[in-house]
């Protein structure tokens, strides 16, 4: 697996500054949230979302310095992402994330709902104060999409008729919208032409889809200890992702197990075995690879630079997480 | 008690339209939220926040028609308010509100967190699409203030050293900020001069403070059946409001009871009796009346009209809820 440290080298200092700023922002004002903040912004996050914003900023500014607004936009993406994780964990009653206990399991649902609301609210406020209406619209779309995706996911729990298209739509809403709209917004802050902004949007969209499909594969293939949460946890909670959806085509009995919500002893073990025997994981990997390739193709709108190369390498990194 | 029906007569049709729009907005898109939406927007809400926006709109447009943006702003205020109530009830583990079971008690915390996030997200998106950066900033401040107030309240549970000033600050953040900033925003949409916008802000601020203090008094003086939640529920949950804070000055033993979080049998009954014996309720009523009077004074910035009269009458209505 490629390390993100070398990958993000062009924005290494920017990312360090960002982490410090985020911790100060949340922790300094509220004792109650201080522990949660340390926890949230230290817990081994890969900072992929702000890294994309900062790399797009560098790749589109080139000989100019990136602006405070670019940095603020990067912070906003990480705040929205973190807020969504915190509420996600309340909704899923998750106890572990990245091998660390979740905010809800440590501090209770009360603090978790509050901390998520605080981060969403703070990000809305920062956003409004970027003084750029086009950027405000793009990021407000992200917050709306996140809620939409979360609802679609909740509505389709244990629904074996979920199509791969509906899964991809939900994945766009929950994950790729943030990367797509924030990459475009970073371009708008650099005043790139509209056509370039659209390519940056597509880059973010494709890399976001690839990233989430890989994440969904890893949920099946990784050991619990490395994953930081129980393996197969998506399936167990009824969240049907690409590997399970593809596997159902080859193993129809999987549908029976899902429909009865794994209510009989041994159902889960059997379902996990059926998925591993099927070509579901291989087909998901191919889908992710296709999206990663599409992402890289969008980058020909940028002049070659260390930062644009890092954006291309990010696509390899996303896939390398599988090996 | 004055009825809000006659009070809001100048914007009666506007409010009916608003309720229909809000139900459609939430319900039509998502089966999961449909029941919650019916529940949220039908449950006897007084629509005071959108009524203020619509009355300010009419009072500042006079011979012009109010715009779609004014209407949209009114919807946004009700969405933000409703979202905050839904998350509030999760945080407080409340089972009843306005005599109706809460979303969390009916549908679980999962749906309640989702429904609140959806409404906050939808309001951010509507807001961005008002295409008015000044209004976006004012309302993003409201969302941030709500989270801030909620955290301050959570941090000060069972804290008998809470000052009346800190209580008023929290009350501004949680309640009055929405009324203040949305009244000002309605003025900005009508292109009033900056000085008038500031007076409208102050009107909303004062009426919001009066409104919440009255609400906090009613929590002590109203029977459970009429209140729609257990009487004294603020105090029981450690949320110290004006009547309790004033009562502590006259009845120091109250502090002992609060400090031990009513852990001994009969503590709550004793605390409620001490507050009723004290002048805490009377002093709170005077404070609310002072703010209501200050609210009315701000309205001399408006030309007399049916709508500006209704804004003045609203101050009487707020106080009349006590009788």
Estimate the crossing angle of helix A31-42 against helix A68-91, to 10 degrees: 100
Strand partners, B97: B100
β-bridge pairing A100-101 and B100-101: unpaired
Best A115, A126, A144, A149 residue to mutate vs chain B (most B CBs within 10 Å):
A144
pTM of the predicted structure, to 2 decimals: 0.88
Residues in A closer than 8 angstroms to B111, CB to CB, are 154
**φ/ψ of residue B232, rounded to 5:** 75, 15
Contact A111 B154 (CB under 8 A): yes
Enumerate residues 83 to 112 of chain A having a beta carbon within 8 A of any beta carbon in chain B. 87, 90-91, 93, 109-111
| CA B229 to mean position of chain CA atoms | 16
Q: Which two tokens stand for residue A54?
A: 């900062």
> Which residue among A114, A146, A150 sits closest to B154, beta carbon to beta carbon?
A114
The mean per-residue pLDDT over the stretch A283-288 comes to: 98
All structural domains of chain B with their residue ranges: 4-320
Q: Which residue has the tokens 């069972």?
A: B158
Separation between Cα atoms, residue A109 and residue A97, nearest integer Å:
15
3 state SS of A157:
coil
Helix boundaries (H) for A62-193? 68-91, 103-128, 133-155, 164-171, 177-189
Separation between Cα atoms, residue A212 and residue A275, nearest integer Å:
18
Taking CA A43 as the corner, what is the angle to CA A12 and CA A179, rounded to the nearest 5 degrees? 60
Please determine, for residue A30, whether its predicted confidence score (pLDDT) is greater than 80.
no
CATH number of B4-320: 1.10.600.10
The answer to whether the beta carbons of residues B201 and B180 sit under 8 Å apart is yes
B35 CB within 8 Å of a chain A CB: no
Contact A125 B114 (CB under 8 A): no
The mean per-residue pLDDT over the stretch A138-159 comes to: 90
Please determine, for residue B38, whether its predicted confidence score (pLDDT) is greater than 90.
no
Reference A312, options A56, A134, A33, A18; nearest CA is A56
ipTM of the complex: 0.81
> Which residue among A33, A90, A131 sits closest to B109, beta carbon to beta carbon?
A90
Contact A90 B111 (CB under 8 A): no
Residues B66-122 have pLDDT tens digits of 999 999 999 999 999 988 888 888 887 788 777 778 888 887 787 788 888 888 888
Residues B264-304 have pLDDT tens digits of 999 999 999 999 999 999 999 999 999 999 999 999 999 99
Integer-rounded Cα radius of gyration of chain B: 20
Reference A122, options A61, A171, A169, A72; nearest CA is A72
Separation between Cα atoms, residue B128 and residue A136, nearest integer Å:
6
| Nearest-neighbour CA in chain A from B121: distance (Å) | 5
Q: Which residue has the tokens 């941030």?
A: B144
* pLDDT more than 90, % of chain B: 62
pLDDT value at residue A282: 97
Enumerate residues 132 to 191 of chain B having a beta carbon within 8 A of any beta carbon in chain A. 133, 136-137, 140-141, 143-144, 146-148, 150-151, 154-155
Contact B87 A117 (CB under 8 A): yes
Residues B206-260 have pLDDT tens digits of 999 999 999 999 999 987 666 666 678 899 999 999 999 999 999 999 999 999 9
B28 CB within 8 Å of a chain A CB: no
> Which residue among B118, B141, B150 sits closest to A125, beta carbon to beta carbon?
B141
pLDDT value at residue A225: 64
The mean per-residue pLDDT over the stretch A179-206 comes to: 98
A26 CB within 8 Å of a chain B CB: no
């Amino acid at each position: 697996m490629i390390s993100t440290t070398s990958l993000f080298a062009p924005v290494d200092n920017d990312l360090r500054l960002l982490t410090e700023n985020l911790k100060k922002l949340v922790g300094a004002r509220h004792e109650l949230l201080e522990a949660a903040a340390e926890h949230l912004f230290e817990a081994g996050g890969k900072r992929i979302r702000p890294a994309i914003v900062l790399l797009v900023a560098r790749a589109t500014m080139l000989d100019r310095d990136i602006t405070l607004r670019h940095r603020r936009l990067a912070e906003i993406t990480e705040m929205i992402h973190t807020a969504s994780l915190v509420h996600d964990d309340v909704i899923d009653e998750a106890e572990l994330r990245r091998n660390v206990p979740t905010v809800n399991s440590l501090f209770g649902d009360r603090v978790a709902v509050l901390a998520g609301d605080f981060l969403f609210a703070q990000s809305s406020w920062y956003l409004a104060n970027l003084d750029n209406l086009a950027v405000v619209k793009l990021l407000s779309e992200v917050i709306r999409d996140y809620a939409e995706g979360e609802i679609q996911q909740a509505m389709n729990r244990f629904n074996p008729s979920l199509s791969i298209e509906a899964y991809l739509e939900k994945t766009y809403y929950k994950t790729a919208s943030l990367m797509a709209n924030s990459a475009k917004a970073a371009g708008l802050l650099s005043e790139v032409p509209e056509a370039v902004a659209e390519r940056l949007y597509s880059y973010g969209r494709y890399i976001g889809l690839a990233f989430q499909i890989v994440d969904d594969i890893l949920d099946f293939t990784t050991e619990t200890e490395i994953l930081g949460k129980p393996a197969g946890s998506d399936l167990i909670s009824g969240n049907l992702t690409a590997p399970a959806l593809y596997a159902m085509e080859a193993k129809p009995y999987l549908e029976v197990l899902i429909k009865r919500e794994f209510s009989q002893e041994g159902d889960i073990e059997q379902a996990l075995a059926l998925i591993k025997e099927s070509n579901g994981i291989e087909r998901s990997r191919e889908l992710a690879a296709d999206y990663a390739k599409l992402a890289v193709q969008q980058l020909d709108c940028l002049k070659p630079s260390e930062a644009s190369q890092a954006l291309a390498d990010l696509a390899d990194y996303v896939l390398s997480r599988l090996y």
